[in-house]
Amino acid sequence: MKVAVIGAGSTYTPELVSGLSREQGRMGIDELALHDVDSERLSAVGGLAGRMLAAQGFEGRLEQTDDLDAAVDGASFVLVQIRVGGQQARLSDETIPLACGCIGQETTGAGGLAEALRTVPVVLSIAEHVRERAAPEAWIVDFTNPVGIVMRALLDAGHRAVGLCNVAIGFQRSIAQLLGVEPERVFVDQVGLNHLTWVREVQLDGADVLPELLLEHGDELADQVELPRRVLEELQAIPSYYLRYFYDHDRVLAEQQDGVPRAARVAEIERQLLEQYRDPALIEKPALLEQRGGAFYSEAAVGLIASLVAGAGETHVVDVRNNGVLVGLAADDVVEVPAQVSPGHVEPLPQRPLAPELLGLVQHVAAYERLAVQAAVTGNASIARKALLAHPLIGQWDTADELLERLLATEVQA
């Protein structure tokens, strides 16, 4: 079986391919293809990946290429983890909205729309190559942000795809640590849209322990999502970190306007990581990678693929069509929910209705995502402006108009 990684110049890639190698016996992987348009990054990342695989005794083939067709040819799984425009584009996504008095974040609000506009067409182009060259019934596993919008575009175009985010596995691991138990004993019922989710139930060995968890570890959980403990107690749910942009908007905006953009810090971390990756003596992931963000993404991706190949109905939190799972959303909306995964099948688990205070925000952002996909696919500026107008973090005509003008001007200059 062949697995292709598109955007393999990512500093996450060595850990990812190392995880795939460890599952070689279960999944039968005999070929890994690493693709990136940046040959310098790919050389550094691929070099470390190769050394890690050699140390593990991987007996398959590792290919590095800038030829997309060669990468996806015959692949059963294609992992897409690209960042169109690199960290420089992310820096624009985080700083341009600030000039208009709006939150600057790479996946949420105006920054998320900018990322979607330049990313969706590229991912759809990659997906067409997969359709033409990959193995029959190949899966696209998308980790490319903004995941919900990218997934909607892929599914609208008829591709066999599933989206993945690391927020749920991050909660599972941190909650397991708080409870002092193995992660496998903890199940988090995380629901909503990508980067707009709440954990409404935490099961330990099948029994819901969320009320006790909030009572005994409310301060730690609140610190993790950077929101007051009272928010978690009022909602009787754990909001994802990204809810702080909505629930604590003014404070976050003030911090962003006075602080150093996250993109600048990540760019420096990546520079240092790539320098370390070039060391021929390095055969394991460096500690610095923990500061990069995206914790446990590799484990989540490997676990999902393993279940799609040889699973027995394991539960993974993924991004899929709604199709009635969350009442109050359209069937074709893309939701992030737990699903049972087995060979060739991803079946979302039934969900009780969202409480009004959650549903209202989800419906609002789902409407924005629908418009964002339309704008990205058509290139229509009017639809893009409507998307900004529909987003709850923007919602004013003059602001939306100015934002779009600034965002499009930056893309033209790039």
Active site (catalytic) residues: 242
Which token pair is 294?
A: 């995206």
d(CA 152, CA 146): 10
Please give the C-alpha separations between residue 267 and each of 33, 103, 110, 378, 407, in angstroms, as whole numbers. 25, 20, 21, 31, 21
* DSSP run (H or E) holding 141: strand 139-142
Q: How many CB atoms lie within 10 A of CB 352?
A: 11
Q: Looking at this protein, which amino acid is placed at residue 320?
A: V
- HEC letters along the chain: CEEEEECCCCCCHHHHHHHHHHCHHHHCCCEEEEECCCHHHHHHHHHHHHHHHHHHCCCCEEEEECCHHHHHCCCCEEEECCCCCHHHHHHHHHHHHHHCCCCCCCCCCHHHHHHHHHHHHHHHHHHHHHHHHCCCCCEEEECCCCHHHHHHHHHHCCCCEEEECCHHHHHHHHHHHHHCCCHHHEEEEEEEECCEEEEEEEEECCEECHHHHHHHHHHHHHHHHCCCHHHHHHHCCEECHHHHHHHCHHHHHHHHHHCCCHHHHHHHHHHHHHHHHCCCCCCCCCHHHHHCCCCCHHHHHHHHHHHHHHCCCEEEEEEEECCCCCCCCCCCCEEEEEEEEECCEEEECCCCCCCHHHHHHHHHHHHHHHHHHHHHHHCCHHHHHHHHHHCCCCCCHHHHHHHHHHHHHHHHHC
